[in-house]
Structure 1
Amino acid sequence: MQFTKIISAGIFTIIMVSLAGSSTLAQSQTAMNMEAGSSYQKADKELNIVYQKILKEYAAQPLFIKKLKVAQRLWIQLRDAELAAKYPSNGSYGSVEPMCESLYLETLTRERIKFLRVWLTGIPEGDVCSGSVKSK
């Protein structure tokens, strides 16, 4: 009898933990859209920080700065065009569209951050194609 109570209590505990875990994972689409938007905004802020650091660190190279600014403006246009190409019919993809767009924008932005960070971290000395990137 005692053994049955222990097993029943154990099964009850497992069921309660499972139910509690699944309810915390369930979110409304609105909440997921907001979370994805927030993640993208965080990546965008990080991109701006990296960009500003490059501008500061390379301030003594005005030609590079001028060309980097042009490149960044063009990258923003490319990012927006890529998003428009992926989701060409605005409003046609259901309630997940804002989330999907934010996730895509975040992916593109994180790739740009990785690309730009090279100017801050540098590349190994001896790379003959380093261009304007500093050496480590």
Structure 2
Amino acid sequence: MKMGLAVLLLGVIGSAHAEQPLSNQQIVDHYCANANTQMQMDACSAQALGDADRQLNATYQAVLKKWAAYPSMSAKLRQAQRNWLTYRDADIAARFAIADQDKAAGTAGTAYPTAHNLYQAGLEFERVARLCEYLRGDAYGERDNAPCADLVAHPAVVPHQP
């Protein structure tokens, strides 16, 4: 019993040292460093959101593939992802509630699309980092320190044990 708890605690502690998602400033620096106009900011923020969407989808699919031999876990992962998507959408709606009213009234500022894209991208990059922990197997005593992109490209499938 104590050994199982120790392995679980090590997994949680190990998670604290995992790859960190890009901060909001890092997203701006990475995608929009050369943007000088609002049109360029809109374009680079859309690229950031597109990359975040692709990474989120690929990581989620890799997690499902890795844990496919465990139907109860896969079902809970699917439910967790659905719940996270609901949270993401609600969080964005709350963050931009006033701006959305202004947009509907035709008085939203020109930075609205950029702000919206970058905020959503940040949330999605955070979720990717969380999903990577499932690929690393931290909660189950594994610890694969490969970059998340490598784990997504080549997910190790966990065989079912009777």
Q: Same fold (TM over 0.5)?
A: yes
Is residue 35–residue 44 contact of structure 2 (8 Å, CA) maintained in 1? no
Give yes or no for the alignment of 1:120 onto 2:135.
Answer: yes
Aligned ranges for residues 1-136 of structure 1 at < 5 Å?
25=34, 27-89=36-98, 90=100, 91=103, 92-123=107-138, 130=139, 133=140, 135-136=142-143
Structure 1 Cα separation of the partners of residues 34 and 56 of structure 2: 30
Structure 2 Cα separation of the partners of residues 67 and 122 of structure 1: 15
- Identical aligned residues as a percent: 33
Structure 2 Cα separation of the partners of residues 122 and 79 of structure 1: 24
Q: Deviations over 1:48-95 (max 9, x none)?
A: 111111111110001111111111011111101111101103125401
5+ residue gaps, structure 2, are 1-32, 144-162
Structure 2 Cα separation of the partners of residues 134 and 41 of structure 1: 33
Is residue 35–residue 41 contact of structure 2 (8 Å, CA) maintained in 1? no
Structure 2 Cα separation of the partners of residues 83 and 51 of structure 1: 21
Is residue 119–residue 134 contact of structure 1 (8 Å, CA) maintained in 2? no
5+ residue gaps, structure 1, are 1-23, 124-129
One-letter amino acid matched to 1:29: Q
Q: TM-score, normalised by structure 1?
A: 0.71
Per the TM alignment, residue 27 of structure 1 is displaced from its structure 2 partner at its CA by 2.5
Structure 1 Cα separation of the partners of residues 80 and 126 of structure 2: 15
Q: TM-score, normalised by structure 2?
A: 0.60
Structure 1 Cα separation of the partners of residues 53 and 133 of structure 2: 17
